[in-house]
Amino acid sequence: MASIDHVVPLKKGGSDEIDNYVTACWECNLKFREKSFEERKPKPLPINKMAAKLNWDGFSSLYIKLNKNKDEWIKLLESDRQNE
């Protein structure tokens, strides 16, 4: 199952901004919790071109379908889809 992870953990000075979020599997998110890159947390991979060709959206479409609230994430994801 996919989850949203902070690239730089909040306790290590990271922010709750979209630039500090990545998709991670649930197991990895729990395993690396508050670790930093220096503590062997894997660095996120760059978005690859094949994912774009396959129309991979990092599960964002699933978030839109499952979330019943119109939170800031939903607004951002929906506006991003309209700009495609």
54 or 15, higher pLDDT: 15
Please report, for the chain, the start and end positions of each structural domain, with discontinuous segments joined by +. 1-45, 48-84
3-class DSSP state of 5: strand
Stretch 70-80: mean pLDDT: 74
Mean pLDDT, range 29-41, rounded to an integer: 86
Q: Given a cut of 80, is residue 79 above it in pLDDT?
A: no
> In one letter, which amino acid is 13?
G
Q: Please report which helix (H) or strand (E) contains residue 66, including its range.
A: helix 60-66
Structure confidence at residue 50 (pLDDT) = 64
Confidence (pLDDT) at 14: 92
Q: Does the pLDDT at position 44 exceed 60?
A: yes
- Take residue 3 and report the two structure tokens written for it: 């989850």
Q: Give me the pLDDT at residue 48, please.
A: 62
What CA–CA distance (Å, rounded) separates 59 from 64? 9
